[in-house]
Structure 1
Amino acid sequence: MKRKNYIINVTTEAAIMPVPILPLYSASKTGLSVFTQSLRVQLSNQPFVVMPPPVESRMTMQDLRNSGPLVLAADFAAGLLKRIEAGKLYYAPGANAWQLRLIRRLAPNVGLHLVDKLSRQQLHAV
């Protein structure tokens, strides 16, 4: 039996809604998302896009301690493997990705201002 290989690209919610105070970061995440979509067509649906919520790590414990609950890395990895085994092409757990997509479609300017305000608050809280 031939073993399957996967390409897993990890991006963030900045690929959905840019973070105005981090334009290069937002552009790189959007670029990776678009690159993965193109690669998926070329490689017959193989690349997999992952948009994790804040996952508990040393970095996030310092930078995101006031942003709400963090997902345990083991829980995130288990969910990712289930999605891959189910043949899914995206994994964006939590409400943030879904909410950002909805806001981007219905009120993109409101979404940009909201993300800007929240990211500035987080920056000053650190």
Structure 2
Amino acid sequence: MNVQNNTILVTGGTGGFGFEFASKLIALGNTVIITGRNTEKLQEIKGKLPQVHTIQSDVSNADDIVRLYQQVTQQFPHLNILINNAGEMRKLSLHHHHALADITREVEINLMGPIRMVQQFLPHLKKQKNAAILNVTSGIALLPFAISPVYSASKSGLRSYTQALRVQLKNTSIKVMELVAPGSSTPLNDKFKNEEGFSTNLLMAPEKIVADAIKGMANDKDEIYPGIAKVMRILSRLVPNFLISQSGKMGASYMYGTNDRRQ
């Protein structure tokens, strides 16, 4: 697909992958709209990227998505690419108490958010001559990451949904793609730096991941595996139990209740 001269909506655009998508896609001559929950952060990004368009919106709130759709389609009728990037990742020991309304927060943001975004914007995208949906999942979608159990479930669910969506939209003008992102040096992973078994050497720079993603989009890749994600894909098929046991070693004292830390 052509990665120039599009109108693109990126959720979760105030940092990490979202900021990199916005900056790189603007440089390619695209019109880019980003969303985020924090108005101050959106203003900061506007200061760094004057050409970006910002809208305060929370993907975990269905009413916000309806309002976002109305505003975007009115102001940017040529919108043809949706990048579902907004996400949250927490370390959670299930031995600790968690309010039932809070324990599924990552599901609301990481899984329900993209599903609702696609459902709301799908009729508009189907009207475009060339359109695309890119869902950002994770290498963790390929196998569970024990210290982040709900995040793992949400990304696995999003991967499955994306594959089903691709089948259902195969006779439309919409290309459905998945970015299977490896661990990255973004604030999302900062909370793990002091956990035993965590190595920053395995983290990939977000700008490199997004550059690979845009290259994959240009080459019409259904699934994009930057860096170590390629290796994870192979190992998840060959030695899944080994990978699960290895992931269980990170933050073991936190997970298994042998100390009293809380998240």
TM range (shorter): 0.7 to 0.9
Please state whether the residue corresponding to 1:46 is helix, strand or coil: strand
Which is richer in helix? 1
Residue among 208, 216, 219 paired with 1:75: 208
Larger radius of gyration: 2
Shift of the 74–23 alpha-carbon distance from structure 1 to 2, 3 Å rule, reads closer
Q: Greater relative contact order (Cα 8 A, min sep 6): structure 1 or 2?
A: 1
Aligned to 2:150: 24
Alignment of 1:29-44 (within 5 A): 29-44=155-170
Matched, 1:14 2:140: yes
Cα RMSD after superposing both structures: 2.5
Q: What is the CA-CA distance between 1:74 and the residue it aligns to?
A: 3.0
Shift of the 120–77 alpha-carbon distance from structure 1 to 2, 3 Å rule, reads same
Which is richer in strand? 2
1:92 aligned partner, one-letter code: Y
* Number of residue-to-residue matches in the alignment: 119
Aligned to 1:63: 191
**2: CA distance between counterparts of 1:101 and 1:76?**
16
Q: Give identity over the alignment, percent.
A: 30
CA contact (8 A) 2:137 2:181 kept: yes
1:108 aligned partner, one-letter code: P
Q: Which structure 1 residue ranges, 5 or more long, are not aligned?
A: none
1:23 aligned partner, one-letter code: P
Aligned to 1:114: 246
65-74 or 28-37, which moves further after superposition?
65-74
Matched, 1:99 2:228: no
TM-score normalized with structure 2 length:
0.40
Q: Which structure 2 residue ranges, 5 or more long, are not aligned?
A: 1-127, 194-198, 256-263
Residue among 49, 64, 86 paired with 2:178: 49
